[in-house]
């Protein structure tokens, strides 16, 4: 077979998790909680299954879940999305990203991707026949930020799409209202569309609030906004997410969705919807994860690791240049094998190699896991 993605290997998340298991390391690499979800959520799913909700739901997802999402988005972001025509349930955010890209990128179109970037974006653009145009984030004084002038300079007549992600994996950076205004001004007189990957929308710290593209009218009109229940409800293995997009964009999205997965499993959708009716779980998530972030940061404050800011997500990036000169992949491998703590090299989020010395830890872990991992990291 002639590979369509010759440069692509097994994702770093799978390979680091396998390495962690092989060496019985504490896995702070791949992003997933090591604790379970609220038992009530499982009860609701169980109830849906025993009530016979086990056949195909409607193609865009169950009505009840789409309505719950519409209510949540309206309450949080003062944005109206029609459950019938503008909200589609997906098999996690990953499928939403792929389907959005396939829906709008034509062969030869350019897509602007801000690096470091989540690993699925670039291969998916390539599968759609698009050309990824990379814009590196600024990394100064130990802090990542987007250089909007640089991004604007990469726009051409072929630019079809820009992908943004806030809160940002892996850097933990968040976009503010001014960033969204700047982006809106840059694309105002163009037909460029936007994918806004907001899977960490409910993990924003230090009293800040998430700036959703949904609440930015000019941008929302041309955006696929993507979220994931896996992150919000501690159920990454369920693979249920959704996409919000204006009617015409949702119509194009659904044309592909129906031939990709057709629809997403029924009982999880019904269970999540009932849970959403009864619980405002998402409103407590930032506080919950901020405690873990603070604990993690305090424990490493006097170590040889230098902490980058973490404004959102459940990831903490650190600079290890005071410890080692190794490449990020070599260091993450060493850390897993010799120290017994797995991490993700930030280089995995770049197509072009950088000279940084950064790895990413996931702090979505039980206290005991964090205590044990931090003891090992403090000894370096
Ligand atoms: N986008 C980003 C930025 C992510 O971090 C992740 C999950 N790691 C995804 C998308 C994919 O989410 P899901 O597991 O729901 O497919
Ligand atoms: N999104 C998760 C992370 O960044 C992993 C997802 C995956 O394993 N594909 O760690």
**182 and 125 co-located in one domain:** yes
**263 and 350 co-located in one domain:** no
**306 and 159 co-located in one domain:** no
Ligand nearest the Cα atom of residue 344: 2
Domain end (from 278, 300, 315):
278
**320 and 252 co-located in one domain:** no
d(CA 343, ligand 2 centre) in Å: 12
pTM for this entry: 0.98
Confirm or reject: Cβ of 94 under 6 Å from ligand 1: yes
Confirm or reject: Cβ of 11 under 6 Å from ligand 1: no
User: Using CA of residue 11, residue 13, residue 19, residue 22, what is the dihedral sign?
Assistant: negative
**179 and 169 co-located in one domain:** yes
**203 and 341 co-located in one domain:** no
Q: pLDDT tens per residue, the chain (380 residues)?
A: 999 999 999 999 999 999 999 999 999 999 999 999 999 999 999 999 999 999 999 999 999 999 999 999 999 999 999 999 999 999 999 999 999 999 999 999 999 999 999 999 999 999 999 999 999 999 999 999 999 999 999 999 999 999 999 999 999 999 999 999 999 999 999 999 999 999 999 999 999 999 999 999 999 999 999 999 999 999 999 999 999 999 999 999 999 999 999 999 999 999 999 999 999 999 999 999 999 999 999 999 999 999 999 999 999 999 999 999 999 999 999 999 999 999 999 999 999 878 899 999 999 999 999 999 999 999 99
Task: Classify the phi-psi angles of 129: left when phi > 0, otherwise alpha if psi is within -120 to 50, otherwise beta.
Answer: left
d(CA 135, ligand 1 centre) in Å: 20
CATH number (domain holding residue 96): 3.40.640.10
Residue 288 lies in a domain: yes
**152 and 83 co-located in one domain:** yes
Q: Which of 113, 123, 196, 230 has most ligand 1 atoms within 8 Å of CB, for mutation?
A: 230
Domain end (from 240, 255, 278):
278
Domain end (from 227, 252, 278):
278
Confirm or reject: Cβ of 228 under 6 Å from ligand 1: yes
**163 and 105 co-located in one domain:** yes
**DSSP classification of residue 337:** I
Confirm or reject: Cβ of 31 under 6 Å from ligand 2: yes
Residue 2 lies in a domain: no
Q: Which 3 state secondary structure label does DSSP give 115? A: strand
Look at the chain and report how many structural domains it folds into.
2
Determine the Cα–Cα distance for residues 93 and 80; give it in Å rounded to an integer: 21
d(CA 120, ligand 1 centre) in Å: 9
CATH number (domain holding residue 338): 3.90.1150.10
Confirm or reject: Cβ of 57 under 6 Å from ligand 1: no
Contact predicate 189/222, CB 8 Å: no
Task: Compute φ and ψ for 253, nearest 5 degrees.
Answer: -55, -45
């Amino acid at each position: 077979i002639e590979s369509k993605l010759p440069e692509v290997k097994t994702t770093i998340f799978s390979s680091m998790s396998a390495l962690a298991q092989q060496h019985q390391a504490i896995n702070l690499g791949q992003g997933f909680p090591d604790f379970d979800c609220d038992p009530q959520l499982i009860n609701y799913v169980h109830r849906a299954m025993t009530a016979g909700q086990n056949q195909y739901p409607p193609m865009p997802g169950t009505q009840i879940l789409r309505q719950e999402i519409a209510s949540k988005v309206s309450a949080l972001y003062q944005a109206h999305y029609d459950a019938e025509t503008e909200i589609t349930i997906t098999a996690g955010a990953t499928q939403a990203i792929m389907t959005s890209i396939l829906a709008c990128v034509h062969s030869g179109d350019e897509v602007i991707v801000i690096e470091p970037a989540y690993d699925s974006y670039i291969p998916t653009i390539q599968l759609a026949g698009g050309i990824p145009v990379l814009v590196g984030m600024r990394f100064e004084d130990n802090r990542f930020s987007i250089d909007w002038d640089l991004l604007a300079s990469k726009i051409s007549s072929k630019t079809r799409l820009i992908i943004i992600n806030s809160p940002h994996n892996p850097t933990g950076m968040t976009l503010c209202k001014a960033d969204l205004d700047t982006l809106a001004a840059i694309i105002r007189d163009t037909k460029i569309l936007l994918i806004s990957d907001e899977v960490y929308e409910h993990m924003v710290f230090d009293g800040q609030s998430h700036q959703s593209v949904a609440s930015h009218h000019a941008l929302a009109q041309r955006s696929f906004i993507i979220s994931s229940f896996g992150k919000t409800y501690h159920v990454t293995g369920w693979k249920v997410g959704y996409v919000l997009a204006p009617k015409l964009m949702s119509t194009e999205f659904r044309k592909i969705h129906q031939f990709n997965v057709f629809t997403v499993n029924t009982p999880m959708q019904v269970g999540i919807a009932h849970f959403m009716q009864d619980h405002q779980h998402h409103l407590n998530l930032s506080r919950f994860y901020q405690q873990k972030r603070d604990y993690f940061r305090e424990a490493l404050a006097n170590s040889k690791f230098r902490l980058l800011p973490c404004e959102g997500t459940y990831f903490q990036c650190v600079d290890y240049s005071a410890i080692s000169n190794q490449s990020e992949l070599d260091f993450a491998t060493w850390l897993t094998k010799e120290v017994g703590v797995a991490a993700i090299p930030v280089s995995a989020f770049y197509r072009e190699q950088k000279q940084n010395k950064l790895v990413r830890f996931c702090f979505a872990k039980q206290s005991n896991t964090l205590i044990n991992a931090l003891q090992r990291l403090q000894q370096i």
